[in-house]
Amino acid sequence: MLPQSEWVQQSGVQDADWATIGNRTQTYTEWNTPMLADLLTTLTPKIAAFRRDIHAHPELAFDEHRTAEKVAAYLDGLSGLGLEVHRGLAKTGVVARLKLGTSRRSIGLRADMDALPLQEMNGFPHRSKHAGRMHACGHDGHTAMLLGAVEALCTLRDFDGTVVFIFQPAEEHEGGGRVMVEEGLFERFPMDMMFGLHNWPGLPAGHFGVTDGPVMAGADRFDIVVTGRGGHAALPHQAIDTVLAGSALVQALQSLVSRSTDPLDAAVVSVTRFHAGHADNVLPETAQLGGTVRTLTTQVQMQLEEGMRRICTGIEATYGVRIELHYERGYPPTVNASSATAIARAAAGAVVGEHAVQLNLRPSMGAEDFAYLAQCVPASYVWLGNGSTEGGCLLHSPHYDFNDEVIATGIRYWVALVRQVLGGER
Ligand code: NI
């Protein structure tokens, strides 16, 4: 993977130019041309129907065959307008590219396609037809809105440059974004900048949350095996007690956040498993522990992993046990770049008005694999309000549903982003 600076230089756009692009004000007429407004009156119901269809047919990570084929078929229908369609990146991923004019500038827009292993408890007609699978995170809505944006941009044709549309598999747990990067997403489709969005229950419908810097946490996991010497509980001096050593370890790990991390940096270390022993009179030979680590910066993530290794070594020496630590890096923190975030803010403001753009909300300690894409080029990931959480409409709830009322806003946002970077005065 090339470092960020080399990607940015591909199109020759310098930092100062990005700042100018972010500061440009779009006028109402620019984004809400009668043509776009007309188009949305027919496009929005069609996209809502598409969304409900994939809601009814949810597919899990890397198994989104039907969804990907429906997406690709929709995109194929636009190939007469100059859209290239590429199937099969990261197994079920689909990438489309639209190049207009002569500018070498290029941006990526990304949606995720996968559902969750969850039993839906809604009763509406478009509820999941598959037991134990559900679009409980709104990726059906993300996919549908991006398709709507592709059609709008292919039809309106009012930008100069390249837009890459990324329909990513396996956002939940499996890191489809990482696999796309490993399979050459950026080599095959060079992009200067990348944008993503996620619906956000609790944020008023149609409002945007735009955050500079960390927006979603990194999520790592760890497994620890403490090995001592099993023995009779009445003769502890002949054994090496793994319960005691494990307990000391749990206590000591809590100092990582409270004593070793800057109080202004958010971090979580949770030990969520501790298994040892079966009998009242036996000191167990081993104890197994595990849990999760959440951080908002890679620096703190690295500090915590190092600290965990240091503490394990200390506990080994103190209690005479042997400790194996298996620390597994999960999704990195999703960190929004200032340059891309200024552009996202301008685009969101052009669509819904400044008053409906909430700035620098508190980051979520949930994780998101857009992080892998945001490590490659300057990127910004925004939240689009999904409205009230009443009726259990929270992410990953069995009562969740994507709010179709925000589809037109989402499409307008993507179009406004493209116009912000590739349209208007340059
Ligand atoms: Ni999600």
The structural domains of the chain, ordered by start, are 4-202+388-422 (3.40.630.10), 217-331 (3.30.70.360)
Cα of 321 to ligand 1 centre, how many Å? 41
**What's the confidence (pLDDT) of residue 331?**
92
Separation of alpha carbons 112 and 373, rounded Å: 12
Helix %, strand %, coil % for the chain, to 5? 40, 25, 35
Q: Of 277, 274, 273, whose CA–CA distance to 233 is shortest?
A: 277
CA distances from 139 to 98, 116, 197 (A): 23, 10, 10
Q: How far apart are the first and last CA of the chain?
A: 30
Separation of alpha carbons 163 and 189, rounded Å: 10
Separation of alpha carbons 228 and 322, rounded Å: 6
Cα of 198 to ligand 1 centre, how many Å? 7
Cα of 143 to ligand 1 centre, how many Å? 11
> Phi and psi at residue 383, in whole multiples of 5°?
-105, 135
Cα of 109 to ligand 1 centre, how many Å? 16
Cα of 163 to ligand 1 centre, how many Å? 23
Q: What is the DSSP string of 13-37?
A: --HHHHHHHHHPPPPHHHHS-HHHH
Separation of alpha carbons 345 and 20, rounded Å: 13
Cα of 263 to ligand 1 centre, how many Å? 29
Q: Which residues pair with 107 in a beta bridge?
A: 163, 193
Cα of 422 to ligand 1 centre, how many Å? 28
Cα of 312 to ligand 1 centre, how many Å? 34
Cα of 137 to ligand 1 centre, how many Å? 5
Cα of 171 to ligand 1 centre, how many Å? 7
Give alpha helix (H) positions in 119-241. 139-156, 176-182, 185-188
Cα of 261 to ligand 1 centre, how many Å? 29
Neighbours of 359 (CB within 10 A): 13
Nearby residues of 238 by Cβ (< 8 Å), 6 or more positions away: 229, 231, 232
To which residue do tokens 């890397």 refer? 62
Cα of 114 to ligand 1 centre, how many Å? 9
Q: Which residues pair with 110 in a beta bridge?
A: 166, 196
Cα of 136 to ligand 1 centre, how many Å? 8
8 Å CB contact between 380 and 417: no
Q: What is the pTM of this model?
A: 0.87
Rounded to the nearest 10 degrees, what angle do helices 34-56 and 139-156 cross at? 150
Cα of 142 to ligand 1 centre, how many Å? 9
Cα of 285 to ligand 1 centre, how many Å? 41
Cα of 63 to ligand 1 centre, how many Å? 16
Cα of 210 to ligand 1 centre, how many Å? 17
Cα of 139 to ligand 1 centre, how many Å? 6
**What's the confidence (pLDDT) of residue 29?**
52
Cα of 388 to ligand 1 centre, how many Å? 17
pLDDT tens digits for the chain (426 residues)?
Answer: 444 445 455 566 666 677 777 777 765 455 556 788 899 999 999 999 999 999 999 999 999 999 999 999 999 999 999 999 999 999 999 999 999 999 999 999 999 999 999 999 999 999 999 999 999 999 999 999 999 999 999 999 989 999 999 999 999 988 999 999 999 999 999 999 999 999 999 999 999 999 999 999 999 999 999 999 999 999 999 999 999 999 999 999 999 999 999 999 999 999 999 999 999 999 999 999 999 999 999 899 999 999 999 999 999 999 999 999 999 999 999 999 999 999 999 999 999 999 999 998 899 988 999 999 999 999 999 999 999 988 888 999 999 999 999 999 999 999 999 999 998 543
Residues near ligand 1 ion, CB 5 Å cutoff? 137
Cα of 266 to ligand 1 centre, how many Å? 21
Cα of 370 to ligand 1 centre, how many Å? 10
- Alpha-carbon 408 to chain mean position: 22
Cα of 174 to ligand 1 centre, how many Å? 12
8 Å CB contact between 339 and 18: yes
**What's the confidence (pLDDT) of residue 150?**
98
**What's the confidence (pLDDT) of residue 5?**
47
Q: Of 160, 167, 173, whose CA–CA distance to 140 is shortest?
A: 167
